[in-house]
Amino acid sequence: MDRTSWPLPCGTFSANLGATMAYVRASQYLLPTWKEDPADADIPSHRLMLRAGMIRPLAAGIYTYLPLAWRALRKIEAIIREEMDAIGGCEIHMPMVHPAELWAKTGRLLDFGPQLVRFRDRAGRDMVLGPTHEEVVTDLARREIQSWRQLPLMLYQIQTKFRDEPRSRGGLVRVREFTMKDAYSFHESFEDLDRYYPQVYQAYLNIFRRCGLAPLPVEADPGLMGGSGSHEFMLLNEHGEDTLVQCERGDYAANREGAVAVKDADEGERERPLEKVATPNCYTIDAVASFLGVPKRKTAKAVFYRGKGELVFVVIRGDLEVNETKLARAVGTTDLAPATEADIAAVGAVPGYASPIGIRGDGVKVVVDDSIPKARNLVAGANREGWHLRNVNFPRDFSADIVADVAMARDGDRCPRCGGTLRVKRGIELGHIFKLGTKYSEALGATFLDREGRPRPLIMGCYGIGTGRLLAAVIERHHDDQGIIWPASVAPFHVFVAVLNPDRPDHATFAVRVAECLDRAGLEVLVDDRERTAGEKFHDAKLLGIPVLVVIGPRALAQGEVDLERRRDGARRKVPAEPDALAHGVYDLLRAESS
């Protein structure tokens, strides 16, 4: 049977790894499996990738991909390329080393902080290692796009990035060096970007579905990327590094960094006169509320941060917590750090008893959470040790430079869409898409001539997927206590052939016939011909998680049959010990697996 007559559509299960495919002998393959869990791996994907011989650490957050992982990663990348090409993407490859002047023009040379690795080349030019490529691709567009007739245009790459993360964890979930598919679209209008954005959104859903995942799209904060709109694609997972908020009714989901919730108003309550009250040794909201016998939601909490050249004084309802991402966006800086007691005292406030009433204005920016205008007659500090004020009301008693939502959404809060209950969950971010607008094109002078011949800044979108993280997420979703359970679409191999007696010539010869037949059928085969016990081979078959196990042993061959087993559900069948019949049996199991 040759490949042209075989009914298996190769793209159903995997991307083609090349024009020729050949089975692999485990005895000639780098497959360093471990029997025991590594002590320093804290999530399933990290443990299993180490045990299955897929990755090895070089330094903190820096890994070598071994052959098994590299095969799976190439299949993920091929799926990504197919979906990006289907929406008009053009693949390019940009440098990893960038001139620092590009980053200085966009303001991110400083804003990116210590995650951005800086150095000087031998000529003394300031350079950076690229953690992302908005600056570089915008510079390319500035040089190459002149007219609206060239738009829209989508460019993408799959390339290495480096971010000096302070704390790498979870194997490939959070690393310092990583591979990313980053894509950038260019448009003549915001309306055109709005039309194109849903195509990328759907392409992302297609990619994750084809990798065996069902992500939850959530609204997200653009963060350092900037722009007007953003979505993340989350895999719900208790080990995830991200926190998200989801309505139980399913009509709202958002990254907790940008999630909003309903804040109840004190309807009908009249403002009462200010009243000073003694509160000895009450330095916290809990202590004040308990001492005065009021709920925490009837207090006003003061939280201080040191920003760029100023003190940021946040006033928020006492039962809420400050969301620092929202706060940074509200004040227009990412450079926020907790203020010291000396910082607080310098503006006339008393730590533990701070109040917005009477704060000196120079060098202080007062940010009021939008819960405060909805509240009445709150208890707040009096800027005097041992004293608080009752019946504080905004804006009667104090003013604000900014009124904004800077509160963290909580489990049990009410949904802003339907009033349902919000639940806080953990997740792994699979991908992130942004409507960048003109942030980078204006900063770098990337313009085009519109239909009237006038120069205008390019409108941009940005779309990213971390391929290594996606590989880890597939394992997080598809595993059991014994090992990985690969979806057929991204499995490093389709078939694991366990030869129980490789030293017997008839068994070895039959294994070769089986492997060659499956190879001609378009299937990828790993033949375990190592001199190991049957138990060790079965252990590795479970650990590696290849979709179909073929067992070649003396009992089955003596009966003229071969045993097949599907990894996902343990479904077994016997087929005649004849290569073509075996190929049909494997195909049937894979077809059921893919469906």
Q: What is the pLDDT along the chain (595 residues), one digit of tens a residue?
A: 343 333 443 334 443 433 345 799 999 999 999 998 898 888 999 999 999 999 999 999 999 999 999 999 999 999 999 999 999 999 999 999 999 999 999 999 988 888 999 999 999 999 999 999 999 999 999 999 999 999 999 999 999 999 998 888 889 998 999 999 999 999 999 999 999 999 999 999 999 999 999 999 998 876 554 556 789 999 999 988 899 999 999 889 999 988 999 999 998 899 999 999 999 999 999 999 999 999 999 999 999 999 877 899 999 999 999 999 999 889 887 778 899 988 888 888 898 899 989 876 678 999 999 999 999 999 999 999 999 999 999 999 999 999 999 999 999 999 999 999 999 999 999 999 999 999 999 999 999 999 999 999 999 999 999 999 999 999 999 999 999 999 999 999 999 999 998 888 888 888 888 898 888 888 999 999 999 999 999 999 999 999 999 998 888 788 888 899 999 999 999 999 887 888 889 988 988 776 6
N residues, the chain = 595
In whole angstroms, how far apart are CA 490 and each of 76, 130, 169? 6, 28, 24
Which tokens is 297 given? 């939601």
**Amino acid type, 110:** L
| Domain 275-404: CATH superfamily, name plus number | YbaK/aminoacyl-tRNA synthetase-associated domain (3.90.960.10)
Alpha carbon distance 263, 378 (integer Å): 15
Model-level pTM? 0.88
Reply yes or no: is the peptide bond before residue 395 cis, omega within 30 of 0. Answer: yes
Domain locations in the chain as residue ranges: 3-27+493-594, 71-214+435-474, 275-404
- 3-27+493-594: CATH architecture: 3-Layer(aba) Sandwich (3.40)
Residue 38: cis peptide before it, omega within 30 degrees of 0: no
User: CA dist 407 to 303, 447, 505, Å?
Assistant: 12, 38, 71
Nearest in space to 188 (alpha carbons), one of 494, 559, 441? 441
Amino acid at 566: R
3-state secondary structure of 407: strand
Report the CATH fold assignment for 71-214+435-474. Answer: BirA Bifunctional Protein; domain 2 (3.30.930)
Token output for 140: 């390319």
Q: Which residue has the tokens 């004084």?
A: 313
Q: Do domains 3-27+493-594 and 71-214+435-474 have the same CATH topology?
A: no
The torsion angles phi and psi of 156, rounded to 5 degrees, stand at -145, 160
| DSSP notation for 290-305 | HHHT--GGGBEEEEEE
Tell me, what DSSP letter sits at residue 157? E
